Amino acid sequence: MAGTTATQSAAAAVNPLRKGLASDRIADPCNVVFFGASGDLMKRMLMPAMWNLRLDGILPANYGIVGFSRSQYTDDEFRDQMHRSVDEFSRSGQAKEPLWSDFAKHLAYVPGDFDDVACYHALREVLEKNDRELGTAGNRLFYLSTPPSVFATIIEHLDAAGLGPRTNKQGWSRIIIEKPFGTDLDSARALQAEVSKVFDEKLVYRIDHYLGKEPVQDIMALRFANVIFEPIWNRRYIDSVQITAAETVGVEGRGGYYDNAGALRDMIQNHVMNLLALVAMEPPVAADADSIRDEKFKVLRAVRPIERTRVTLDSARGQYDAGSNAGTPVPGYREEPDVREESNTETYAAVKLLVDNWRWADVPFYLRSGKRLARKKSEIAIRFRSLPHRLFGEAGDLLDNNVLVMKIQPEEGISLRFNAKVPGPKMHIRSVSMDFNYGTGFGVVSAPAYERLVGDAMRGDATLFTRWDAVETAWQIVMPVLDRWQNTADESFPNYSAGSQGPPSADRMLAMDDREWRKI
């Protein structure tokens, strides 16, 4: 068990399924610089992630964490802020001494305007000091957790201040870029042009936090670490695939951002498209970052572009009206702060895609995501074809199609629905389910996605980050729908109540194919 983290040893002691697992690799010595360090993501996710990486022994001995944002904090004020956020949001509970005091010594802060190059020189001094005093070896990981409007400026100034990879002769420089990467195909290409002037693609880590979720990583394990699924993972056996990312929350104070984005940009173009790629891709030749990302890109390229004339048939949009969330009344989208009174922004999006290749020809992939729906539920459901011949059962017996569901959240696991005989003298058939649940299976609670992702970027493992070719292709896929939705107001908005299953137009889209959405 040498090198095993505390969490792992405890879990292995009680769970034979975890016995013999090697320790997580420790990251390289480095500085992690968070731009946008006074923001919400830093408070809720990123700093608690760094703290837990420390607790789990994944941070190296030589590390520095540097915050950079406009707020005028001193180092100590920043440390206090971060202490409070860890106490409030960390999965491991309140920070304990003496560990916190030791961790806090590795925290520093640089106040500055993103467009003031002098502040980047100040940052450089802090990083060089950390290299001398903390042994961070000239390695730098920059994390852009700012509004996307300043991504390009930050990158340009990093380069100008001698902080980019070209000028860093001592160690490596990498960059993590938060979503959204562009707001449409053109702006994504323009941003990429700026990024690639300074950072080679191998140094760019575009975050999609869905890829850091354990059950999402398990999609590949299910497909490529078992022999029983892959032979039937194709058009001969699969009828259709439904990918759902449903939320109960509304825009949560982010009306200003969301009203210019909408569900298609916010969820489908990135998170849901990544799920599609993982479910539909061919087996990679190896388990390294580029082999896997090559296959993801290939399958996205095979997605049939939605013809303009088919947009209204193959997509559906919705906007929530007032309703209720767990019994509490909630306002409609247009009543949310910073949302336009007559907003045409969709808070629900559904699209039907076809993947034009040998494996998937004619198998529809139905994708949907929405806010203020009946339940929080992200899942991928693979529905198999009907039986070729019905042998058993009488009228009233349900011979449902087999369905394999990969549950991403809030439940994490896999469930397979199949038909079984009802006990008794007659051959009655009912659909039953076989379930695997991560928590009880492995006896651990999955770490939040950001922990996994920041740790991977520190180690230089880009497998769970989206490569530019996939981002660009995902934009190409959604553009016809986005164009149409932007240019034509939906007069039915608001068209679903908060707490419901979504707009009737989404049901009609599936009814045209004689199918129904799974219940949220």
* Beta carbons of 316 and 508 less than 8 angstroms apart: yes
| Adjacent-strand bridge partners of 384 | 238
Tell me how far, at minimum, the Cβ of 111 lies from ligand BG6, in Å: 27
The count of chain residues that interact with ligand BG6, using the rule CB under 6 A, is 4
User: Per rule CB under 6 A, is residue 412 in the interface with ligand BG6?
Assistant: no
Smallest CA-to-CA distance from 444 within 54, 45, 95, 91 is with: 91
User: Per rule CB under 6 A, is residue 346 in the interface with ligand BG6?
Assistant: no
Task: State which residue, 376 or 390, has the beta carbon closest to ligand BG6.
Answer: 376
User: Per rule CB under 6 A, is residue 321 in the interface with ligand BG6?
Assistant: no
10 Å Cβ neighbour count for 239? 16
- Determine whether 209 is an active site residue: no
Place of tokens 């210019």: 260
* Nearest-angstrom CA–CA distance, 275 and 254: 25
| Adjacent-strand bridge partners of 68 | 35, 110
Smallest CA-to-CA distance from 143 within 453, 448, 447 is with: 453
User: Per rule CB under 6 A, is residue 379 in the interface with ligand BG6?
Assistant: no
Radius of gyration of the CA atoms of the chain, in A: 24
User: Per rule CB under 6 A, is residue 218 in the interface with ligand BG6?
Assistant: no
10 Å Cβ neighbour count for 340? 12
User: Per rule CB under 6 A, is residue 336 in the interface with ligand BG6?
Assistant: no
State the residue number with the nearest CB to ligand BG6: 266
| Adjacent-strand bridge partners of 234 | none
Helix, strand, or coil (residue 408): strand
Tell me how far, at minimum, the Cβ of 385 lies from ligand BG6, in Å: 30
Active-site residue, from 121, 209, 271, 389: 271
Site string for ligand BG6, 156-195 (x = CB under 6 A): -----------------------x----------------
Task: State which residue, 214 or 247, has the beta carbon closest to ligand BG6.
Answer: 247
Tell me how far, at minimum, the Cβ of 50 lies from ligand BG6, in Å: 19
Instruction: Please report the sign of the dihedral spanned by the C-alpha atoms of residue 55, residue 58, residue 61, residue 65.
Output: negative
Tell me how far, at minimum, the Cβ of 149 lies from ligand BG6, in Å: 16
Choosing from 56, 247, 294, 321, the residue that interacts with ligand BG6 (CB under 6 A) is: 247
Query: How far from 71 is each of 122, 340, 379, 425, CA to CA, in Å?
Result: 15, 29, 39, 74
CA quadruple 82, 85, 87, 88: dihedral, nearest 10: 180
Task: State which residue, 172 or 257, has the beta carbon closest to ligand BG6.
Answer: 257
- Residues of span 255-294 touching ligand BG6 by CB under 6 A: 266
Place of tokens 């068990």: 1
Tell me how far, at minimum, the Cβ of 325 lies from ligand BG6, in Å: 14
**Contacting positions for ligand BG6 (CB under 6 A):** 179, 247, 266, 378
Active site residues: 271
